[in-house]
Structure 1
Amino acid sequence: MNSFLGLLLEFEGVNQNYNNAILPQKLCEAIDYCNNPYRLNKCNSIVKENRSIFVRKLLNVYSSVLIKTNTFNFWLGRSLAGFRLPCFAETSQAINFFRCNKSGDIQNNLCLPRSLFAASTSKSFKKNGVILIGVSLPSNLMHAWIIENGTQPDPLDNIWINFQPVAAIY
């Protein structure tokens, strides 16, 4: 397991033993929920918060920069998301803000920027959340989603269940 890139893939090596790798509890639980999605708890209803105009504009600019950066380079987008702006109590609130402020036509293509935005602006993510990046085999389709506290906090993301996790960011 590469802690910087979050790779979950195992490679066979001559003298390497990956069975002794210690994974964080929240990552093990997230993978278990991906394998057993019926065990997930229902996402809480989203309460719309009143934010100042300055904060909303700042968050809009931040989300737009994340989108542009992620289309250019994964590592740059990941690095930009490392600068935390925790202004939402829960990840579901951050996802709702992102969805409300970006066009609905392109939401399916914004799964990674949406997940990174939610992770970097949520107060609860650092302690309880995991971003999972999965692939739908045998196609080359990829998708990113969040598992946090036994829930999938994006009520409009219903395609994550079709993807097998290959990487995690926590």
Structure 2
Amino acid sequence: MKSFRLATAILALSTGMALAENPMVGGAPMLETKNIVENAVNSADHTTLVAAVKAAGLVDTLSGAGPFTVFAPTNEAFAKLPAGTVDNLLKPENKDMLVKVLTCHVVDKEVMSEALKSMIDGDKGSHAIKTVGGCTLTATQEGETIKLTDEMSDVAMITIADVKQSNGVIHVIDTVMLPKM
């Protein structure tokens, strides 16, 4: 009888996990059947990121098969940059720098938060993440919060983790990660 109750509890738990939905981001549902760009355009918190992705010519890349992990800075994260920085990056003559900044938020594999926490633990509290932009982000954990430090020593917190996409995962962050300049 005890093993039957245990099996029933495990089945109920696994069924509940299978039915778990993605978190809402920027007031919009994030559908696992849509890709990173298709979901991001619906987030009111990511209009600056979407504009930057379009200006950088990265829409097709981030709509591709992946898998990708995108650390997606919010509008508020972009607003923390010095005045004029975003407008300057969006100018056509600064496209290369914009691409560099944006690709420093992208990893060429899907990395869910539990896997990242395991990597942090396995590396004794600090895990280096290589991005497709050639940057290295350093992941650490404080309590349940995962933090990322960029090459300029800026620190971002993952505020919404594990937003599954058809071509990877998004983790929402509160600070723009910058390459070493």
Q: Which has the higher contact order (CA 8 A, sep 6+)?
A: 1
More strand by share: 2
- TM-score bin (small chain): under 0.3
More helix by share: 1
TM-score when scaled to structure 1? 0.25
TM-score when scaled to structure 2? 0.24
Greater CA radius of gyration, 1 or 2?
A: 2
